[in-house]
Amino acid sequence: MKKRRKETLWAYLTSAPSLILILLIVVFPILYTGYISFTNMNVYHWFDFSFIGTENYKRALFVFDSGFLGALLATILWTIVNMVLQLVIAFVLASLLNIQNFKFRRVYKTLLMFPWAMPGYVSILLWKTGMFNSQFGLLNQWMEKLGLEAQRWLATDVSAFICCTVVNLWLALPFMIMIVDGALQSVDKSCYENAILDGANWVQRTIYLTIPSIKPIIAPSVIITVFTTFKQFDVIYLLTQQVGAKTGSNLHTILTYAYENAFVTNNYGYSSAVSIIIFVMLIAFSLLTRKRLREGE
C-alpha cells in the first residue's frame, strides 16, 4: 500500500512540469480570455480596464448577424466536404499503398508525406500564385494552351470554395493517409484470407471487414481533423481574404468573419467575448462529432 502511494506520488511528481506547462500555455490563455471578455479592455482602456459584466457578450451577438450565419453554414459545409473527401481519398491511397508486392511503396509514401514537410503558409501562397494566379498561374497557362479563356479562379464564392478545398486536401491528406495506412496495417491478414475463402469480393471485404476494423483506430484522428477543419483560418484567409490581396470572393468561415468584424477593432474585451462564443461552438461541435462517432461504433 505504501509502495503504491509512493509510486502514485512519483508519477504525479514526474508529470507535474508537463502539467504546469499545459496549464500555462493551454488552460491559462483560455481562462484569461474568459476574464478579459468581461472587461472593457480596448485601445482607450488598455491598462486601466474594468469589469463591465456581460456587456461585451450582448454586443458580440450583433456580430452574429446574417453575415455570420452565412459564414457558419459555409464552415459546416466546408468541414463536411473536407472530411468526407479526406477520408475517401486517404482510404483509397492508403489501400493502394497496402497492395501486396507493391513496388516503390516507400518512395510513394515519402512523396505523399511531402506536403506535410512544408510550412502551411508557404504552401498556401505557392498555390495562390503558382496555380491560381490569373496572370502567371499554371492553371491558366494550361487553359491558354488548350485555347480556353483564362479564369479568375478565386473570384467567386463557389470557385474559391473548390480551390480552398483542393489546397486544404493537399495540406491535410498526409496526416490522414498516415493514420489510415497504419490502421490498415494493423488489420489481421488472416481475416482477409478467411474472407477470401468465404468468397468475399474486394467491396465486401472493405465494407464488412476493413472499415469496421480500422474505425476505432482512425476515430480520434477524425475528431482532431474535424476540429481543425472547423476552425480553419489560414487557407481561406490567405487564399481569398488577405488584406492587400483580396480576390473578390466573399467566402468566410466563422473565424475569418470574426477576424474582419471584431478582431480588427483592437477591442480585446469585445474580441474575447466573440472568441469565447466561438470556442463554445467548437466544443459543442466536437462533442456532437464524438457522439456521432460513438453511436456509429
Partner 1 sequence: MKRWLAILLIVCLVTTLFVGCSQPEEISDGTVTITIWHDKEEEVAAVLQTELERLEPDIVVKLERKDGLTEALKLVGNDPKAAPDMYFFAHDKLGVYAEMGILAPISDFIDATALEAYLPMTIEAATYKGEIYQLPLYFETLLYMYNRRYMKDDKVPKTTEELYEYMRKTTVGGHYGFVEQHSTAYYSAGWIHAFGGYIINEEGQPGLDSKETIAALEYHKKFVEYMPSEGEYATVNTLFREAKAHSTIGGPWLVPTIRESGIDLGLAPMPVVNETGKAIAPYSGVQGLHVLKVAAGKKHDAIIKVLQQLTGDEVGIAIAKASGCAPAKLSCYDDPDVAKDLMVMSMYETAQNAVPMPNIPEMDVMWTVTENLLVDINMSGKDVTESAKAAQKKALDLIASMK
Q: What is the dihedral of CA 179, 182, 184, 188, to 10 degrees?
A: -140
Q: Which is nearer to partner 1, 174 or 269 (CB)?
A: 269
Which residues on neighbouring strands pair with residue 51, listed in sequence order? 39
List the grid coordinates of 148.
480556353
Taking a C-beta distance cutoff of 8 angstroms, is the pair 56, 270 a contact? yes
Q: How far is the CB of 43 from partner 1 (least distance, A)?
A: 5
Site for partner 1, rule CB under 8 A: 14, 16-18, 20-21, 42-44, 46-47, 59, 129, 133-136, 152, 155, 243-248, 260-262, 264-267, 270
Q: Scanning the structure block, which residue is given the C-alpha cell 468468397? A: 199
Q: Scanning the structure block, which residue is given the C-alpha cell 472547423? A: 230
Q: Which is nearer to partner 1, 126 or 224 (CB)?
A: 126
Q: How far is the CB of 135 from partner 1 (least distance, A)?
A: 5
Q: How far is the CB of 115 from partner 1 (least distance, A)?
A: 21
Q: Which is nearer to partner 1, 76 or 162 (CB)?
A: 162
Q: How far is the CB of 269 from partner 1 (least distance, A)?
A: 10
- Please list, in sequence order, all residues whose beta carbon lies within 8 angstroms of the beta carbon of residue 159, skipping any fewer than 6 positions away: 151, 152, 153, 249
Q: How far is the CB of 268 from partner 1 (least distance, A)?
A: 9
Q: Which is nearer to partner 1, 46 or 202 (CB)?
A: 46
Taking a C-beta distance cutoff of 8 angstroms, is the pair 36, 268 a contact? yes
Q: Which is nearer to partner 1, 185 or 266 (CB)?
A: 266
- Please list, in sequence order, all residues whose beta carbon lies within 8 angstroms of the beta carbon of residue 87, skipping any fewer than 6 positions away: 176, 180, 218, 222
The whole-angstrom separation of Cα 238 and Cα 261 is 17
The whole-angstrom separation of Cα 199 and Cα 196 is 5
By CB neighbour count within 10 A (0-12 exposed, 13-18 middle, 19+ buried), where does 95 fall?
middle
Q: Which is nearer to partner 1, 221 or 267 (CB)?
A: 267
Q: How far is the CB of 85 from partner 1 (least distance, A)?
A: 27
Q: Which is nearer to partner 1, 33 or 42 (CB)?
A: 42
Which residues on neighbouring strands pair with residue 236, listed in sequence order? none
The whole-angstrom separation of Cα 267 and Cα 30 is 17
Q: How far is the CB of 198 from partner 1 (least distance, A)?
A: 49
